């Protein structure tokens, strides 16, 4: 979507200050960047209707804009805009109204536009054996890349064992890891909601090894960087971790025969084990899927449900606002484990 020019200085300021407000509240960097862009579409629409004042933002003009948006063609792929895109747009508009109520003291009622039915997106969890193989792949590089190997095991522990979202892991500071009580303090969760995530002894070992042996060697001299996961220039970014995850997947796949495309896809086969996904199929089924950080979160959620954890506790563990967000994993579990 091209950048739409805004004539009104007050609208341009609103867009900027709205993004800064989201950032202060701890929203993910992608949200801080994208939500103001969605809001700009509303403001551009208002200007086309001769409205250039923030005080003119109201429910009727937003609903009129959304009706036009929902009927607009997809400029890249043809057809209409996806339901997922429209829902994200609605989320941005709802946050804008929240901002105007709190920061501009405007009395605006709830938007009350029903969200669209999300477009289905199949989630394929990794098997427990494949997750173990990723840890083993990290260990394979301990002789040649010892510091990176320690960090690899640490981020696997955070994103799989602790089920963190991508932005939650990169936002962690050194003080957010409580080794005595084995808790991770997630201070910048989705929707700026904080939570504590427990972890076990094995996870503690991976985190401690990185914290005391790997991290100091990544820290620049005289640096006061607080970030737990470090890269060459300070706090590591999600793209760097995703590249490392793909490298680990490649190492796993190099140990498997007849894999024609090992660069970014993990070979998943059915296992004859009651502790692993896909236990009931007698013939091997090979599935190629892109693997990224969020797949690790999907996988631990599915594994916990399969192992008998109550859905309410899984929801709390993941930091979900409602059980509806967690119920998707019950369907995944039923599909791959029954």
pLDDT digits (tens, 9 = 90+) for 137-183: 999 888 889 999 999 999 999 999 999 999 899 999 999 999 999 99
In a domain, 236, yes or no: yes
Q: Which helix (H) or strand (E) holds 318?
A: helix 311-318
Q: Mark whether 97 and 145 lie in a shared domain.
A: no
Does the pLDDT at position 284 exceed 90?
A: no
Q: Are 224 and 230 in contact (CB under 8 A)?
A: no
Q: Mark whether 164 and 275 lie in a shared domain.
A: yes
Question: Domain containing 57 — which CATH number?
Answer: 1.10.150
Tokens of 310: 């109550």
Q: Does this model's pTM top 0.75?
A: no
pLDDT digits (tens, 9 = 90+) for 96-125: 999 999 999 999 999 989 887 765 566 678
Q: Mark whether 149 and 19 lie in a shared domain.
A: no
What pLDDT score does 233 carry? Answer: 83
Domain count, the chain: 2
In a domain, 112, yes or no: no
Q: Mark whether 211 and 88 lie in a shared domain.
A: no
Q: Mark whether 137 and 222 lie in a shared domain.
A: yes
- Secondary structure of 14-37 in HEC code, one letter for each residue: HHHHHHHHHHHCCCCHHHHHHHHH
Q: Are 325 and 317 in contact (CB under 8 A)?
A: no
In a domain, 211, yes or no: yes
As a whole number of angstroms, the distance between CA 184 and CA 196 comes to: 6
Q: Which domain holds residue 95?
A: 9-103
What pLDDT score does 118 carry? Answer: 66
What is the average pLDDT across 20-31? 86
Does the pLDDT at position 258 exceed 80?
A: no
Q: Mark whether 55 and 197 lie in a shared domain.
A: no
In a domain, 151, yes or no: yes
Q: Mark whether 265 and 197 lie in a shared domain.
A: yes
In a domain, 108, yes or no: no
As a whole number of angstroms, the distance between CA 240 and CA 247 comes to: 11
């Amino acid at each position: 979507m091209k950048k739409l020019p805004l004539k009104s200085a007050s609208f341009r300021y609103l867009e900027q200050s709205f993004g800064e407000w989201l950032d202060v509240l701890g929203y993910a960097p992608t949200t801080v960047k994208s939500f103001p862009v969605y809001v700009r579409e509303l403001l551009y629409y208002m200007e086309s209707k001769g409205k250039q004042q923030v005080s003119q933002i109201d429910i009727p003009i937003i609903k009129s804009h959304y009706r036009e948006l929902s009927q607009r063609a997809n400029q890249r792929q043809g057809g209409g805009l996806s339901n997922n895109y429209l829902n994200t747009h609605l989320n941005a508009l709802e946050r804008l109204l929240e901002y105007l109520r709190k920061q501009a003291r405007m009395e605006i009622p709830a938007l009350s536009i029903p969200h669209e039915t999300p477009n289905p997106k199949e989630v394929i969890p990794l098997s427990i054996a494949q997750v173990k193989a990723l840890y083993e792949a990290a260990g394979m590089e301990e002789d040649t890349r010892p510091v990176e190997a320690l960090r690899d095991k640490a981020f696997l522990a955070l994103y799989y064992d602790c089920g963190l979202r991508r932005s939650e892991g990169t936002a962690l500071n050194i003080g957010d890891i409580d080794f005595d009580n084995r808790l991770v303090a997630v201070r910048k969760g989705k929707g700026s909601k904080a939570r504590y995530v427990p972890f076990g002894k094995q996870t503690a070992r991976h985190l401690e090894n990185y914290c005391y042996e790997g991290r100091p060697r990544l820290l620049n001299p005289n640096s006061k960087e607080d970030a737990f996961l470090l890269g060459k220039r300070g706090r590591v970014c999600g793209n760097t971790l995703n590249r490392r995850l793909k490298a680990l997947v490649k190492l796993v796949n190099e140990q498997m025969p007849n894999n024609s495309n090992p660069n970014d896809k993990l070979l998943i086969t059915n296992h004859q084990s009651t502790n692993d996904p896909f236990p009931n199929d007698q013939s091997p089924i090979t599935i190629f899927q892109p693997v990224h950080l969020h797949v690790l979160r999907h996988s631990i959620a599915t594994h916990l449900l399969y192992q008998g954890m109550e859905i309410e506790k899984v929801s709390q563990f993941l930091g979900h606002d409602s059980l509806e967000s967690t119920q998707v994993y019950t369907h995944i579990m039923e599909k791959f484990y029954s």
